[in-house]
Structure 1
């Protein structure tokens, strides 16, 4: 009973805020997704990443090990996705990127933060940075057939990660007045990401629901198993293990739909995966969290 209550306390704020965005759109209220997304990804999230890394009390070696585990997690998902596409006949450029990349930002960061506190936030922003860099390079290559490494370099949260890592390595800190301003700005990130997630799901139309349900379930099972295995293989501590497992198991990222739309893959199929996997995560992630908390 206590464990169930703990899981509810962790997951309820995440899905309530996402539901607020969903209801907002369904009521016909205006929500300028492009503006809010740009505000979050250009200002709020980079501030959150930088301050989380600068202020973290996590061991530098532990963070380095976590980066390797995160890279390995994406590699495992890529290999599993390649096998799935080859033997099921699914179009690689449509389905592989959504299979690899989860919603480590909008959903993963809040969930990790509520579940594991400051330590969870520190690991979660590292996972987001790894996922974002891979998404803007390898992910675009999968969908468009060409690399876009220059786009990753232009992303503010990539620079925030590098700068935060430098401050962490050197044990530097910004002046208190600046730190307060950066932390206050970063506090916008979590509610903005969750509400935007809800509005995005509300505006997408699922297609081929049966296939989307099957693929979403396969993605969840493979990613959760990969997370458990890699956490043990790399000897991660409980917080790092929990974040790795949860982040890998997050539903299909909305950015996968945006890439499919931009580069003319089957965007309607990806939209269905985003919607269905996100709705399924409301049931699956709490179940997974209940197991993770017992590590």
Structure 2
């Protein structure tokens, strides 16, 4: 019973905020999802990552090990999803990137924060930053069928990560007034991302459920297994291992739908994946938390 209550305390705020966004749209209120997403990706999330890395008390060596484990885990997930797409003879541009990249921002960051506190958030932003850089480079190439990975250097999120890592490595600190300002801006990120997730799910119209359900289940099982195996192989400490599993196991990201629509992939098919995998995560993520807490 205590475990159930603990998991409920972690999961409930996350899904309640998403429900607020869902209900907001269903009631007919306006929500400028492109504006909010742009503000989050260019301002609040970079500040969140920078401050979290700068102020983390996690040893740099532990973050380095987690970074290597994250790269290996996503390489393994990429190989597994390539095989899955080939077996089911799916369109590579439409399905590969969504099956690889989870919602590590909207869901992973708040879940790690609520489950493991500041330490969990410190680990989670590392996984999120690596996934985001991968998504903005190779991920866009997968969907668009081309393009230069150097475009990622234009993303504030990438610079927030690099600067945060530099400040952590050198043990630098920004002046208190600037730290407080950046921290306040960063605090916008988590509630904004969760409410936006609910809005996006409310607006998406899945065209089918059968194949997306099969793919979502296989994605969840593969990601959980590969993340656990990779983290154990690297000998990650318990919290770092738990965060890696949680982040890699998150459902299909809403940004996958936006990229599919932008670059001419089958956006309706990706919308089905987002809705089904996010709904399925109501069951899978609490189970993951119950296992790792």
Shorter-chain TM-score bucket reads over 0.9
Separation in 1, partners of 2:9, 2:136: 34
Offset from partner CA, 1:213-235 (integer Å, 9 cap, x none): 11000000000001110110010
Structure 2 unmatched runs, 5+ = none
Q: Which residue of 2 aligns with 1:73?
A: 73
Report if the CA contact (8 A) 1:52-1:125 is conserved. Answer: yes
Offset from partner CA, 1:25-80 (integer Å, 9 cap, x none): 00000111111111111111111000000000001011001111111111111100
Separation in 2, partners of 1:144, 1:12: 36
Separation in 2, partners of 1:148, 1:126: 24
Shift of 1:245: 0.2
Q: Which residue of 1 aligns with 2:33?
A: 33
Report if the CA contact (8 A) 2:65-2:234 is conserved. Answer: yes
Offset from partner CA, 1:151-193 (integer Å, 9 cap, x none): 2111111100000001000000011111111111111111001
> How many residues get paired?
293
Separation in 1, partners of 2:126, 2:147: 22
Map 1:1-295 onto structure 2 (within 5 A).
1-293=1-293
Separation in 1, partners of 2:279, 2:148: 31
Report if the CA contact (8 A) 1:136-1:148 is conserved. Answer: no
Separation in 2, partners of 1:25, 1:258: 18
Separation in 2, partners of 1:219, 1:68: 22
Report if the CA contact (8 A) 2:141-2:149 is conserved. Answer: no
Shift of 1:284: 1.0
TM-score, normalised with respect to structure 2: 0.98
Offset from partner CA, 1:108-156 (integer Å, 9 cap, x none): 1001111111111111111111111111111111111113323211111
**3-state SS, counterpart of residue 239 of structure 2:** helix
Stretches (4+) displaced over 2 A: none
Separation in 1, partners of 2:140, 2:37: 19
TM-score, normalised with respect to structure 1: 0.98
The two structures, once aligned, show a CA RMSD in angstroms of: 0.8
**3-state SS, counterpart of residue 64 of structure 1:** helix
Structure 1 unmatched runs, 5+ = none
Separation in 1, partners of 2:177, 2:237: 33
